[in-house]
């Protein structure tokens, strides 16, 4: 199939340079892209090469690739950035505050742009696998594309021949109507389809179609470490006990896993678990390679997400048999995949990682030492807050064991002490449901902290416990703890 098979009807075909030249130097540009895939590539590269003095506001609803968060950032063209980013270059620019970065939960960025007035959108640039005068088929991620297309004045579509047209079999595009008095999202099962495979738009908006064959900047995962495997085993033990405990899981369990090498390893280890004949369903934001074995074995009933955050091998595995996988995989916009009400409705067991958590259960997933940004918050808060059981899973240390990820006090809090039910490290499981803050601290230290740090944490807790306080703390000592 050639690019021309992707073009339907009378379309404003243009090259990326001329499209970029028409974008105002201070424009607000909304892009597709989530989980580092499905983002536009040629227009951002053309903007990076543009010799005007650009000060763009760039809005993506999830992670994008190097064409945007390395090339375009390095060119100095981005003055303001929403919402998720994680490249080293973007991180450095954000910490220098050369880029004004505003971070929101993945579920809310569509409404932010369309209704909340956080930006005044000019042009939306999306990647597609096919386009017509008033529709396109998105590629490997959806994110907040339907909301972005509705909100922007103009639309530019990059049609990418490197992405298989069959991707459209995966899409279920549904955008909730405008508040107030929106109808409830009519989804009653994570695998159900309630929308269409195309994004439709006002044809007046379409100012350019750009032909592309540049592949996604796919994921690379490290092989699972010993810690990863120990975490997976501890998580498996917890899940097994939870399945026995709770009648909610009598017939089915709905799972979500955060992105990254650990998340991918945890997904991969799922196949070792005995679910006792229960339906296992994935309702998350990202499909990672780790899910394919379970899909292939028919042990995963359905997988709902907003992005295919795959390695090159994972993409090949999917694309070689996309029609078959489409029977079980549904890609949704992020305002549906991460919808607080749906996460609650489906009683999700959500498993997400973080940078660190403190003894009282506060979680920092974005800023080292509370101040230096590592990545955006993404969808972790959507799942941590709204899951029936929210699990925070991560290794107990970092930097070859030199630094504890279990700390006396988190100085940046993305998920509060009210949010997380269970903490898992390679050391063990701290189920803190129903515990007071000090009880939580005792269980977290004893079950999750690395032995090299347990004594220091115990000493800290013993000393602050002399205070007459519900959540005793010594801020200065906590700040100097490591």
Footprint of a second copy on 396-435 (CB under 8 A): 409, 411-418, 421, 433-435
Least Å from the CB of residue 76 to a second copy: 17
Least Å from the CB of residue 410 to a second copy: 9
Q: Which of 31, 36, 338, 362 binds a second copy (CB under 8 A)?
A: 362
Backbone region of residue 428 per phi and psi (left: phi > 0; alpha: psi in -120 to 50; beta: other values): left
Contact (Cβ atoms closer than 8 angstroms) between residue 72 and residue 153 = no
Helix residue spans in 320-412 (DSSP H): 322-325, 334-337, 340-345, 380-386
Least Å from the CB of residue 377 to a second copy: 6
* CA neighbor of 331 nearest in space, from 37, 40, 69, 42: 37
The piece of 135-143, 150-158, 183-191, 393-401 that touches a second copy (CB under 8 A) is: 183-191
d(CA 350, CA 346): 11
Nearer residue to a second copy within complex by CB, 28 or 139: 28
Active-site pick, 285, 356, 426, 442 = 285
Find all residues with CB under 8 Å of 54, minimum gap 6, and list them: 25, 26, 47, 75, 76, 77, 78
Report 369-398 residues binding a second copy (CB under 8 A).
370-373, 377, 381, 385-386, 388-389
Least Å from the CB of residue 24 to a second copy: 18
Locus of tokens 């530019």: 156
Nearer residue to a second copy within complex by CB, 176 or 268: 176
Does residue 302 touch a second copy according to CB under 8 A? Answer: no
Report 436-475 residues binding a second copy (CB under 8 A).
436, 438-439, 467-473, 475
Nearer residue to a second copy within complex by CB, 75 or 95: 95
Helix axes 261-269, 226-245, angle to 10 degrees: 50
Does residue 185 touch a second copy according to CB under 8 A? Answer: yes
CB atoms within 10 A of CB 247: 6
285 as an active site residue: the answer is yes
Least Å from the CB of residue 77 to a second copy: 17
Contact (Cβ atoms closer than 8 angstroms) between residue 185 and residue 336 = yes
Report 213-252 residues binding a second copy (CB under 8 A).
245-248, 252
**b (16+ CB within 10 A) / e for 424-451:** bbbbbbbbbeeeebbebbbbbbebbbbe
Q: Which of 75, 102, 207, 240 binds a second copy (CB under 8 A)?
A: 102
Nearer residue to a second copy within complex by CB, 52 or 433: 433
Report 47-76 residues binding a second copy (CB under 8 A).
none
Residues in contact with a second copy, counted by CB under 8 A, come to a total of 88
Contact (Cβ atoms closer than 8 angstroms) between residue 37 and residue 140 = yes
Beta strands in 275-421 (DSSP E): 279-283, 286-287, 302-305, 307-308, 329-331, 349-352, 356-358, 363-364, 367-368, 372-373, 389-393, 397-398, 403-404, 406-407
* CA neighbor of 130 nearest in space, from 101, 108, 163: 163
Tokens of 369: 């030492």
Q: Which of 1, 24, 452, 479 binds a second copy (CB under 8 A)?
A: 479
Q: Which of 10, 51, 97, 277 binds a second copy (CB under 8 A)?
A: 97
Residue 331 pairs in a beta bridge with: 171, 305
Nearer residue to a second copy within complex by CB, 399 or 418: 418
Nearer residue to a second copy within complex by CB, 196 or 246: 246
Does residue 253 touch a second copy according to CB under 8 A? Answer: yes
The piece of 14-22, 180-188, 219-227, 445-453 that touches a second copy (CB under 8 A) is: 180-188
Q: What is residue 13's DSSP assignment?
A: B
Least Å from the CB of residue 184 to a second copy: 4
Nearer residue to a second copy within complex by CB, 144 or 197: 144
* CA neighbor of 308 nearest in space, from 414, 420, 218, 220: 218
Nearer residue to a second copy within complex by CB, 25 or 341: 341
CB atoms within 10 A of CB 298: 8
Q: Which of 54, 119, 391, 441 binds a second copy (CB under 8 A)?
A: 119
Which are the catalytic amino acids?
285
């Amino acid at each position: 199939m050639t690019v021309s098979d992707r073009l339907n009807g009378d379309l404003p075909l243009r090259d990326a340079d001329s499209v970029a030249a028409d974008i105002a130097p201070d424009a607000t540009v909304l892009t597709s892209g989530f989980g580092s895939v499905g983002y536009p590539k040629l227009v951002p590269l053309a903007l990076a090469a543009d010799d005007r003095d650009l000060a763009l506001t760039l809005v993506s609803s999830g992670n994008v690739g190097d064409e945007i968060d390395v090339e375009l950032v390095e060119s100095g063209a981005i003055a303001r950035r929403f919402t998720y980013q994680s490249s080293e270059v973007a991180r450095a620019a954000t910490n220098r505050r050369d880029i004004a970065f505003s971070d929101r939960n993945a579920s809310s960025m569509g409404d932010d742009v369309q209704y909340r007035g956080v930006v005044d959108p000019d042009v939306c640039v999306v990647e597609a696998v096919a386009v017509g005068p008033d529709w396109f088929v998105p590629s490997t991620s959806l994110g907040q594309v339907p909301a972005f297309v509705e909100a922007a004045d103009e639309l530019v579509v990059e049609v990418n021949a490197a992405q298989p047209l069959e991707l459209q079999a995966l899409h279920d595009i549904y955008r909730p109507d405008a508040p107030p008095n929106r109808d409830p999202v009519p989804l009653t099962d994570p695998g159900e389809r309630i929308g269409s495979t195309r994004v439709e738009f006002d044809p007046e908006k379409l100012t350019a179609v750009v032909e592309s064959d540049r592949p996604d900047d796919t994921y690379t995962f490290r092989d699972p470490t010993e810690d990863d495997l120990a975490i997976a085993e501890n998580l498996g033990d917890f899940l097994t006990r939870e399945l026995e405990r709770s009648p909610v899981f009598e017939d089915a369990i709905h799972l979500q896993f955060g992105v990254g090498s650990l998340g991918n390893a945890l997904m991969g280890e799922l196949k070792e678990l005995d679910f006792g004949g229960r339906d296992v369903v994935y309702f998350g934001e990202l499909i990672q390679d780790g899910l394919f074995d379970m899909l292939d074995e028919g042990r995963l009933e359905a997988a709902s997400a907003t992005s295919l955050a795959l390695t090159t091998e994972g993409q090949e595995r999917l694309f070689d048999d996309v029609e078959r996988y489409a029977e079980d995989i549904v890609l949704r916009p992020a305002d549906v995949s991460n919808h607080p009400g749906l996460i609650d409705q489906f009683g999700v067991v959500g498993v997400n990682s973080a940078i660190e958590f403190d003894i009282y259960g506060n979680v920092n997933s974005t800023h080292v030492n509370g101040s230096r940004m590592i990545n955006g918050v993404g969808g972790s808060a959507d799942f941590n807050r709204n899951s029936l059981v929210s699990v925070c899973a991560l290794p107990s240390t970092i930097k070859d064991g030199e630094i504890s990820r279990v700390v006396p006090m988190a100085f940046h809090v993305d998920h509060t002490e009210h949010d997380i039910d269970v903490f898992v490290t390679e050391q063990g499981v701290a189920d803190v449901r129903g515990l007071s803050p000090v009880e939580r601290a005792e269980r977290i230290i004893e079950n999750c902290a690395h032995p090299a740090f347990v004594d220091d944490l115990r000493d800290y807790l013993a000393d602050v416990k002399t205070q007459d306080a519900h959540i005793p703390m010594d801020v200065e000592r906590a700040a100097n703890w490591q």
